[in-house]
Each structure stands twice: as C-alpha cells, then as structure tokens.
A and B are shown apart, each in its own frame.
Chain A
C-alpha cells in the first residue's frame, strides 16, 4: 500500500534534456522553475516597492520640488529608453517563441538584438547621468563637474523643453537664460526658481488656496520668505530618489545583460527546443519584469513636472 512499483528514482531511464535529478519528469521541473521565478519576481516587486513608497511620501510632501526636479529630466531620453525597452521585450518574447520552435539562428539573432537594445538603454542612461554631472545635479558633493571661476564651459541648469530634435538643441544653443556658475567643489547645484517663485506668489496672493502643501509651507520658507537653500534641499531629495531608483534598475539591467550573454551562448549551442526551453522563458520573465519597472519609473520620474505645469496637483 505504501510503495509504488513503477517509478524508480533516476539513473536508469533516459533523461529528457536538461532534466535535473531531483525531478521525476520535465513537467515537474518546468512547473518548479516557473513558480520559483515568479516568487523571485514577487520579492523584487517588494524590493522596488520600498523605493516607490519613499517616492510617494516625498512627492506628497514636496510636489513643487519634485515638479521642477522632474522637469529638468529630459523626457526625450526617458521616452527613448521606454521605447527601446518595449522593443527589447518584443525581441525577447520572440526569442522564447523561436526557442520553442527550436530555431537556433533566430534565437541567437533575437538574443543579440535584445542585448543590443539593453546596451542602448544603458548607453542612454550613461548620457543622462553625464548630463547630470555636467549640470551639477548629482546629489553627492564632489560627484559633479568641477567648474572653476572663469571657465567658459559653465552653464546653468535649466529646464529643457519637451521637444525632440533640432528645436531642443536650438533652444539651448540660443542661450535662453544662460548664466555662468561656478562649482569649485562639485556640489549639487540648482538655479531654477521660476516655478516655485510663481507658486509662492500665487499662494501669498490667495492664502486660502491650495497651492502649496503644509509641508511645503514649512519646508521651503525661513522667516516667511522663500529660502532658496531649503528649496534646493528638497530638489536634492528628488534627485536622490531618481538616482537610487534608476540606478537600481540599471543594475538589474546589467544583470539582465549577463543573463542574456549566458542564454545566447546556450542558444548558440542549440540547447533549447520544444522539449526544453524553460530557461529562455524564465529569462524572458526576468527581462519583462525589468521592463515593467521602467514603465512605472518613467512617468513618475520624467513626466511629473509637465503634470504640475499643466495645472495638476
């Protein structure tokens, strides 16, 4: 009654390709790795969730600081990254499809394309981070470009219009509100107070209107006047959250690229087929997860400013 005669454990019958010894059959293995990967992704969501919580708390406290901080992020690059990642998710999904069909060449091509797009993403991130370094918006003293007195390449941090291509660069080239600033210690710099001064004026004109939050009324002011240093501190919080969230995401992207390298190599060796393609599908899950996190990050970080300028709260 307690014994089962038919099945023996391992070493005897022919293995399906890739079957681990602890599993009875492929189906059990596939089910297991699938649940395992989903559980891993759930915990990754909780991991990023803590950061989203921090974002939520501070955006509710200091919306104007977040607005101007976000406004200075170039939505062009952010949008390009979003597009790049979505396309890479497409190539990844196609990889899984071709793995199931056992088509080695297409798998390898698509994996390489996915990696290419991932690399483009990281490249764009590098461009953005360099831009932050140039403009003095890295929130750590010393990690910004040091600009000494009298050097010609200094320019202010100022909002970039949400437009793509020649118009954006023309605006910059035309000068706008250029004024030189020095940053001898590579500190966090902020020079754009237009929006907040406008909002402060609005609030003063109508003290009962809901223009600034209570925390903002305490946090931006000293002795009843707008204190630029205090406002800058709050913008710095935005940049911290930006760097930590996108940095952690970029780290996950790097891991993803490593995963793709391994996967590409295995695919090249024709490891995957209709019988055994779970590693591709699982890698696909991871890649899609990294994509989805970005889909949330992009509007929260990049598009926030335009929301406030358009009159939202």
Chain B
C-alpha cells in the first residue's frame, strides 16, 4: 500500500532518511529536463511555423555554422551534466555508506522468497520488521540466482549475488508498512517474490522482537535448534562414525582434548564449544566444527546448553551449575533494548576466566 490517497500515485512515500535526497535529485533532473526541452521544443515549433515553405522548392540562404554557438551548447550541457554527476555521486555515497552503529540484519534471497534474520536470531520470511529512527544495515546474499532487495519507499535497492555478500542500509523515518519487491529477474515467480517492510516504534519493535516465542520449553527449543535449525545433528548425531564429538553422557565428565589437556564438560565448556570450537578440540576429532558466534542468540545458547545437558542421565535433574536464570523464562527483560546489538560482548562476558580462547591447550 502506498498509503497515498491519490488516484494516480506519483511518488512513493518518503520513508527513509535519504529518500528526500533522491527525490530532490529527481526534481532537479526534471527541472533541467524542462529547462532544456522548452527552448528546443519552442524553437522547433516556432521555426516550423515561421519558416514553413512559402514556395515549393525554394532555396533559403546558406547559413554557415557558428563556432560560438557550438561551443556554448557543448560547454553548458557538459557543465550541467557534471552537476548531475556530482549530485548523483553524493546521494549514492549516502545510500551506500552505512553508519558504524547500524543494527545488522541478514538477508538471504532464494527462489522465490526472502529469508531475513535479525541479529538476535528472529527469523522472518518475506517480511522485515525494523524500528523507526535506527540505522539498519542489511548484509545479504542469495542461495541460487541473482535477486534484488528493493524497497521503493526507502529509495534504495541492491542486487544479491551468489557467493558473496552485498550490503545496503537505511534509516526508516516513518512508521508504516512499505512494499518490498524483488527487482532482478529470477525466474518463474519473480513477480511474486515481494513482501512488506514494517517500520515500528521502538517499543513496538521490542515487543515484536520478544514476542517471537514458540511456546517450547528450553529443552524442546534446544532440541529443535540442535536437530533442525542449526544442523548440529548432522555431525553430532550420526552414531559411531560421526564427525563430531559424542555429546551423550558427557556432562560434567572429564574430556581429553587434542594436545593432552583435560577439561570438565560443564556449562561453560558447552557454550564455548558452540562459540569457539577451535579452541578446545576433543582428542580423536578433527577441528572442523564451524563457529556459531553471531548466529545464535543468548536464549538459543541457553536452550542448547540445557538440551545437551539433558543428553546426560545424571545431569537431567541436576541444576547445580545452573543455567542462566532465564531457564524458565526465555523472554528477556523488555527494558534491555541494547541487548541485541552486541552479542560479541555478551558472549565474551559470559566466558569468564578463560585464557586466550584461541590457544589450543587452554587450561581452565
């Protein structure tokens, strides 16, 4: 919905901080076009009428060219076009230089849908919820062919390219609902690959963010993440020949690491294995586990830890080294609006007491 009451809409809403610049540039170009067209059209009309032939096959006087005129009408268009170039360059620079404090959102296009994930882990399909007034940076790629994430109301778009990341940013300025289109032909359902961007007040956004509870217990949520969403099971649940270390029955056991050190498999061990797997590889296994830093929220980490604990029979009931206090309540305090912006700091803060996490033989 353009949210415009005009019968024939002419402009989409200006809903981002640099939209006015694009519209201004557009207006400038329209003005230039009119200013250049009027003399030419007027000249053609006037000359056409004034100098229409009076007598068939008459021979008007010869007219030689004019160096002055040629110079003038070469230089002026060139100068004007340079102003257009500069204006365009400045606006483009603004459109593609994300501010440092931008909130990250990750987008993956695929035929024929947009998969969007917020830093805090919330996933969306074909919809993007963002808070008003915040800088939002999209890091995007595609699973298959080229697509293009296009929001006309924000006046920005960029292609998504397989094999690399492309970036765009915007700062929404007006709450509302704005159309999202795919703007690079991608096959059968290209025209259907659209959606909506919902710009909300910050408070509503937080509510929305935290409202994405699935109603599962932490163990169920962890199991869901383990088996489905994060793909842990592909290496850690394959039985005797699996590539990943055995996780059943390891809780609070002594684990021997590559290089000879041993470590106790407590909550922090599990958490560290997810965020920094290369730092403590179990003996007999290869260091091939990818890190999930930045891909899991705190709640998800908690759920995973709780789930993995549940795989060890003695730990099932033990709450000695208690999981973070939010075990029964995966909803974070709603007042903490900065929580989602820096998982790195949160993760680091949680891993206390570890020496250099990158050293393979770190001792607790």
Q: Give the residues in chain A near B290, CB-CB below 8 Å.
A: 223
Q: Which residues of A contact B287 (CB under 8 A)?
A: 223-224
B278 at the interface (CB under 8 A from A): yes
Q: Which residues of B contact A225 (CB under 8 A)?
A: 288
**Hey, which chain B residues are within 8 Å of A224, CB to CB?**
278, 287
How many residues on the A side are at the interface (Cβ–Cβ under 8 A)? 4
Give 1 or 0 for each of A195-225: 1 = CB within 8 Å of chain B CB: 0000000000000000000000000001111
* Number of B interface residues in the complex (CB < 8 A): 5
Q: Cα distance A224–B278 when bound, in Å? A: 10
Residue of A nearest to B164 (CB): A218
A225 to B286, CA, bound (A): 11
Closest A residue to B288 by CB, please name it.
A223
**Which residues of the partner chain A approach B288 to less than 8 Å between Cβ atoms?**
222-223, 225
B278 proximity list for chain A (CB < 8 A): 224
Nearest-Cβ distance from residue A259 to partner chain B, whole angstroms? 43
Instruction: Pick the most buried of A222, A223, A224, A225: most chain B CB atoms within 10 A of its CB.
Output: A223
In the complex, what distance in Å separates the CA atom of A223 from the CA atom of B278? 10
- Whole-angstrom CA separation of A222 from B278 in the bound complex: 14
Give the Cβ gap from B16 to chain A, nearest Cβ, in Å.
Answer: 32
A216-244 interface with B by 8 A CB criterion: 222-225
Interface residues as binary, B264-292 with A (CB distance below 8 Å gives 1, 0 otherwise): 00000000000000100000000111100
**Alpha-carbon separation in the docked complex, A225 to B290 (Å):** 12
Report chain B residues within 8 Å CB of A223. 287-290
Distance between Cα atoms of A222 and B286 in the complex (Å): 13
**Bound CA span A57–B278, Å:** 34
A275 nearest CB across to chain B (Å) = 46
Q: Which residue of B lies closest to A223 (CB)?
A: B288
Contact partners of B289 in chain A: CB under 8 A: 223
Residues of B with C-beta under 8 A to A222: 288
> Separation in Å of the A216 CB from the closest CB of chain B?
14
Distance (whole angstroms) from the CB of A59 to the closest CB of chain B: 19
Residue of B nearest to A219 (CB): B163
Min CB gap B234→A, angstroms: 14
Query: Could you give, for residues 256-299 of chain A, a 1 whenever the CB lies within 8 Å of some chain B CB and a 0 otherwise?
Result: 00000000000000000000000000000000000000000000
Within B286-312, which residues are at the interface with A (CB < 8 Å)? 287-290
Complex Cα spacing A141 to B19, Å: 52
Closest-by-CB residue of A relative to B289 is: A223
In the complex, A80 Cα to B290 Cα: how many Å? 50
Tell me the complex Cα distance, A225–B289, Å: 12
A222 to B288, CA, bound (A): 8
C-beta contact mask, B157-170 vs A, less than 8 Å → 1, else 0? 00000000000000
Report the separation of the CA atoms of residues A223 and B281 in the bound assembly, to the nearest whole angstrom.
14
Output the least CB separation between B358 and chain A (Å).
12
Expressed in whole angstroms, the Cα–Cα distance for A289 and B287 within the complex equals 54
- Rounded to whole Å, the gap between the CB of A55 and the closest CB of chain B is 20
Cα(A46)–Cα(B278), bound, Å: 50
- Provide the bound-state CA to CA distance between A224 and B287, in Å: 9
Interface bits B113-126 vs A (CB < 8 Å: 1, else 0): 00000000000000
Q: A223-B290, A224-B287 are in contact. List 6 more A-B contacts (CB 8 A).
A: A222-B288, A223-B287, A223-B288, A223-B289, A224-B278, A225-B288
Listed A/B pairs (7) with beta-carbon separation below 8 Å: A222-B288, A223-B287, A223-B289, A223-B290, A224-B278, A224-B287, A225-B288
| Chain B residues close to A by CB (< 8 Å) | 278, 287-290
In the complex, the 8 A-B pairs of residues with the closest C-beta atoms, listed nearest first: A223-B288, A223-B290, A224-B287, A223-B287, A224-B278, A225-B288, A223-B289, A222-B288
